[in-house]
Amino acid sequence: MRILVVAATSPEIDSFVAGLRYRSDGDSGVTTYTRAGHDVDVLTTGVGMVATAAWCSHALARCEYDVALNLGVCGSFDRALRPGSVVHVVTDGMPELGAEDAGAFLTIHELKLLGGDDPPFQGGRLMNVAPPSNAVLTRLPAVHGITVNTVHGNDASIAAIVQRCKPQVESMEGAAFMYACLIHQRSFAQVRAVSNNVEQRNRAAWKIAEAVRRLGETALGILDHA
């Protein structure tokens, strides 16, 4: 099986890559490894939706991957998802895409610039309705995410986004990865470890090292059961 693993930054997947066997460096930011009989191409895109969408589409257009995995950390709005826990993001969206209207916000769908069910959207969301069949992946909590350019760290904006979108987690890349996989019709999964609760910026409470370790363990387990 040939698998594409996408991450925004190298530190997020250090623990994962440590469990792979290096094979070769390629072009366009891809390094090839092996694990459990699989060829694993690791693509580091850089931070944000634009970089992720561009590099993912570039990679998916060049190679017929059997599965694509997006690995990274995220912030959690849901206090039941404690820092260090690993989740499977099965729906995602881009809540900043739209227009301000005085005190209100109109989404791109409410503006009728894009239909709620125009591909690859379903009901205004990006949805993974057919994730890879994998015992490790199946055991992860399936959650609802949002992807943002500015991570939330203000009580008022957090309350507003929770009321409007009811997200459980947020990242800066997930929806872009899902969008690329959906238009290229590839089997995929977005797997993230919670590094912090979404709250006023409080670095002392972050658990990045634990999140990266747990993410690596889980991702290697997914490969071993692929």
The pLDDT tens digits of the residues spanning 24-49 come to: 987 778 999 999 999 999 999 999 99
The answer to whether 3 touches 42, Cβ cutoff 8 Å, is no
What is the average per-residue pLDDT within 86-108? 92
Contact 87, 192 (CB under 8 A): yes
| Strand 38-44 with 30-35, pairing | antiparallel
Q: What is the rounded distance in angstroms from the CA atom of residue 189 to the CA atom of residue 151?
A: 22
- Stated pTM of the model: 0.94
What was the pLDDT predicted at 203? 85
- The total number of structural domains in the chain stands at 1
Q: Which residue has the tokens 């995220």?
A: 74
Host domain of residue 56: 2-224
What percentage of the chain has pLDDT greater than the value 90? 84
Q: Residue 96: which CATH number?
A: 3.40.50.1580
The reply to whether omega before 120 is within 30° of 0 (cis) is: yes
Average the pLDDT over 61-84 and give the result. Answer: 96
